[in-house]
Every structure is written in structure tokens, then in C-alpha cells.
Amino acid sequence: MAKPKPTQDPTYAQKLAQYDRVVAGFPGVERKGDANPYTALGGNMSSYLHPRGQLALRLPPEARAAFLKTYDATLFEAYSVVQKEYVTVPDSLLADTAALAPHFRASLDWVGAMKPKPGKAKGK
């Protein structure tokens, strides 16, 4: 196993495997990115695993409020910026694929309803 980057959680490989298990439960959704693993639909990001080993999940307002309360979670913060549409998924929930799946589905539904971002023109 490769030595973790200084900002990387020592259990990062385990958390990445847990993230991959959740993503695998949603046919047609692909985990992208090597250094910064993420999922997206139509160019809109729905989740990502930060190098420090925390999963950020993008949720609609009502689901976000309920998630924050239910899991005593916080909005996701990265690089000194609070990302207001993303929640920090507790490690215990990341480890429980079945319990995380409905929240992951809510994220995909929310992002899937957004206007797709324009794609890059081929050859440019």
C-alpha cells in the first residue's frame, strides 16, 4: 500500500473501497478521478472523496437539513471554504453501504435534475 499523502487519512484506501461499493450499487453511475475521486451527472458533481478521507455528498435543501440533524453532521468544508450544498458523511455511515444508499440516491436525483453543464467541444 502506498504511503498516504500528508493530508490523506491513513485509512483512505479503506474509505475509497467503501465509496466504490456505494457507487457500484447504482448502475450507470461511474466513479471518476484518481487523485480526487468523484461522481457526477451531466457535468454536475454529486459526491467526492476528499484526500483527508471525508466523503462530501451534495443534497437538496430539505434532505440536507434532515441529514445534518439525523447524523449530527456538518456542511462540508474544503480548502477553508464551506460548501453549502454538501454534507460531510460520517465514517460510520460511509461504512454502511445500505444505510448510505438512500442518501446517495437523493444526491443523484438532485444533481440529475440540474441543467447539464455544457460539454467541451471535441478536439479542444
Q: What is the CATH number of the domain that holds 17?
A: 3.30.1460.30
**pLDDT at 8 (0 to 100):** 65
- Over 60: is that where the pLDDT of 2 sits? no
**Residue found by looking up cell 479542444 in the block:** 124
123 — pLDDT class (breaks 50, 70, 90): very low
Question: Residue 103 domain-assigned?
Answer: yes
For the entire predicted model, the pTM comes to 0.87
Give the chain's domain count: 1
In a 13 Å sphere around the CA of 1, the CA atoms on its Cβ side amount to 8
Q: Is residue 123 part of a domain?
A: no
Q: Does 1 have pLDDT greater than 60?
A: no
Indicate whether 107 belongs to any domain: yes
- For residues 111 and 46, the answer to whether their CB atoms sit within 8 Å is yes
**Residue 83 resides in a domain:** yes
Segment 107-121 mean pLDDT: 86
- The answer to whether residue 87 sits within a structural domain is yes
In a domain, 2, yes or no: no
Domain annotation covers residue 40:
yes
Instruction: Report the distance separating Cα 82 and Cα 18, nearest Å.
Output: 24
At a CB cut-off of 8 Å and minimum separation 6, what does 93 contact?
71, 99, 100, 103
36 located within any domain: yes
Question: The domain containing residue 24 runs over which residues?
Answer: 12-112
